[in-house]
Amino acid sequence: MSELLAISSRLPTNVGFSLERLARRGGGEGPLRDGWGVALYQDRDVALLREPRAAAESELVRFIERQTPPSTLVISHIRLATRGAPALHNTQPFIRELGGRVHVFAHNGDMPGIVVGGDVPPGRFLPVGESDSERAFCLLLDQLEAPWRAAEGATPPLAERLGLVAGFAAELRRLGPVNFLYADGETLFAHAHRRRQADGAIRPPGLHVLERRCESEEPALDGAGMTLTGAAQEVCLLASVPLSDAPWQPLDEGEVIAVVQGQTAARHPRV
């Protein structure tokens, strides 16, 4: 299965960090050689960098480690193709506009029914590629469109958005293992389910979370390739597997959390 990584922080942080650590698994230490991507929020827009090749062999990844500007919200994905050929149009993360915001989505798992099922009518949002992940993203945005339109340029209430994301995640779980990261420019939503573990079995946890408040350099994250500095920096990292020796915590199966500026703002248990 693919691997996910996200960072939400109160102050902008440099993302040379864990992408390097994750990239080693993308064709270096691991089998994930079918593509990689990173989406970095910059004010109202998103810088999206992707390649349908192994991250561990990418000169662009090394450039990102050195040159990418700081961001407060980042989603990254390392791909092992299950649905759709290794190609740019199937490489995550995916982005779309809704309500004047750039929305970002990345998924880990396998949902064959969402592609082969013919009972889902097309909505406003259509996939460009053949992956189950992009199809899921389009269906999620179809469900979120009404509250974003009704908000007329404002952000719909967090409780409403979280409820819709959690309800949609429950629908996806019937199709297969599904872990995803979704951001709307303000909030990062993370859903944990099941993933293939080191022994080959598919079981929880699907995602791990690490929250840190840092007044000075934080050596505990050195193993992830990330050093946090600055006044009262708060950061939340989410990853498929822990990227350091810090005390990462597994998310409960079926749980959805909402993260804002480096802090968990709300949790939605399995429905």
Among the ranges given (78-87, 125-134, 246-255), the one the predictor scored with the smallest mean pLDDT:
78-87
Looking at residues 123-140, what average pLDDT do you find? 91
Chain centroid to CA 267: 17
Question: Residues 11-27: what's their mean pLDDT?
Answer: 65
Q: Dihedral sign for Cα 248, 59, 85, 184, please.
A: positive
What residue type is 69 in one-letter code? P
Mean pLDDT of 40-49: 94
Most confidently predicted of 50-59, 111-120, 195-204: 195-204
Cis omega (within 30 of 0) on the bond before 112?
no
Beta-bridge partners for 178: 109
pLDDT (0 to 100) of residue 82? 66
C-alpha torsion 218→224→225→226, nearest 10: -40
- In this prediction the pTM is 0.90
Structure tokens at 221: 């994250």
b/e per residue, 191-225, with b = 16+ CB within 10 A?
bbbbbbeeeeeeebbbbbbbbbebeeebebbeebb
* The pLDDT value given to residue 13: 84
Least confident of 91-95, 121-125, 150-154, 188-192: 121-125
Would you identify the CATH topology of the domain 3-268? Glutamine Phosphoribosylpyrophosphate, subunit 1, domain 1 (3.60.20)
- Using pLDDT thresholds of 50, 70 and 90, give the confidence band for residue 258: very high
Whether residue 121 is predicted with pLDDT greater than 50 in this model: the reply is yes
Q: How many alpha carbons fall within 13 Å on the CB side of residue 257?
A: 23
What is the mean predicted confidence (pLDDT) over 60-87? Answer: 80
What confidence tier does 194 reach under pLDDT thresholds 50, 70, 90? very high
Q: List the chain domain ranges.
A: 3-268
